[in-house]
Amino acid sequence: MKIARVETHVLLVPDYDSAACSSAQDDIVVIIHTDEGLFGIGETDTNPWVAQAMIHARGTHSLGRGLEEMLLGEDPLNVEAIWEKLYVGSIMTGRRGLGICAIGAIDMALWDLRGKILGLPCWQIMGGARKTHVTAYASLLPVGGTPEEFLSSLTAKITEAKRLGFRAAKIEAGVKGPYSHQGLQASDDLVVELTAACRKAVGPDFTLMVDAVYSWNNAKEALRTINRLEPYDVFFVETPLQVDDHDGYAFLHDHSPIRIATGELQNSRFEFLELLDRAKVDVVQPDVGRVGGLTEARRVCDMAADRGRLVVPHCWKTGIGIAASAHLCFANAHCPYIEFLPSALSESALRRDLVREELELVDGQIALPHKPGLGIELNMDAMERFRADRVVTEFAD
């Protein structure tokens, strides 16, 4: 059996809002076909047009070969060997950033395909399940552009998440800084107010996480507000500092009363080595697509386990990435949660409609899946409806 075709689809919701802090509005879906009619599905969370170009671009020399051309003719069961081939062959144009994200979508699709070929779920190919259920936390992004609207939206969403059966949630509290939602620039008092209100809304027997969305300029500024969050029993504070401020993260590790989490933007295990050893992060958050796929995410999990750290995968995409995160979590005992964007609480129609059959969530938990591969099925009507060329053309008209 050989890889015969690589298919990519750039998707976009018609009502996308470029001022929103949400990458769930677009997607690139990669489908890898064999010469025997089987196929695997993957996605990654980056600019989909650029990732598509990276996958299909021709290579012109040995340091910059094309990903698609390196895939064709390969045995799809040799997933790890293919990863190394793609990484080494694209070293000049890839290596980090976009290149790793593109490899991540391919690798995710190859794991799905490998499972379908073997008739096994991905977690089983990874060495077996370390748990019978995975706990998903509801990832909640507020709507509105004022502090009052933020507060009202978040408390309503977390109340509804608890009603839906979630036992944990993360609030997006990026109320200032370069990536704030709708350009809001509020004081740190609002972060504390949001956290206090959400804790009051769900009560004590509920895991609460706070995403600071890279709000603070330095570690001492961040620590002043993090210290104020301690009374609200926060499981972790995510991305308080810019992605490459390793010394700042190390300072927070040494002084923060709350766990510090980051890693959603890191590409490859090499960048996670820096997070683990220099930045001393308590909770690493590999995004399966961005880190380089399940092959690389597994390596990150092993490195975290060796150092006694937790892994909570990031995923702000569709049921494809959620399934990949869940299979990774099932195979790793030190992964207590996965990020889950609830379709019922998402403004993105792409999140709601792209996957026809995704892993079932009951009372905030996903039971061990038994379908081959990732165990999901695409909604082909949605694939057609969200075609980016169609959306952009209609929007322009």
Per-residue model confidence (pLDDT) at position 390: 66
The rounded distance, in Å, linking the Cα atoms of 312 and 292 is: 16
Domain limits, the chain = 3-120+381-396, 124-378
The rounded distance, in Å, linking the Cα atoms of 305 and 382 is: 39
Query: Residue 80 carries which side chain, given as an amino acid letter?
Result: E
Q: What CA–CA distances, in Å, run from 251 to 178, 236, 371?
A: 22, 15, 44
Best CA proximity match to 332, nearest among 286, 275, 269: 286
The parts of the chain modelled with pLDDT lower than 50 are none
CATH class name, domain 124-378: alpha beta
- Check: pTM over 0.85? Answer yes or no: yes
Per-residue model confidence (pLDDT) at position 392: 58
Please tell me the CATH code under which domain 3-120+381-396 is placed.
Answer: 3.30.390.10
pLDDT tens column, 120-146: 999 999 999 999 999 999 999 998 889
Best CA proximity match to 103, nearest among 80, 122, 87, 88: 87
pLDDT tens column, 57-91: 999 999 999 999 999 999 999 999 999 999 999 99
Per-residue model confidence (pLDDT) at position 181: 81
Query: Residue 391 carries which side chain, given as an amino acid letter?
Result: V
Per-residue model confidence (pLDDT) at position 175: 93
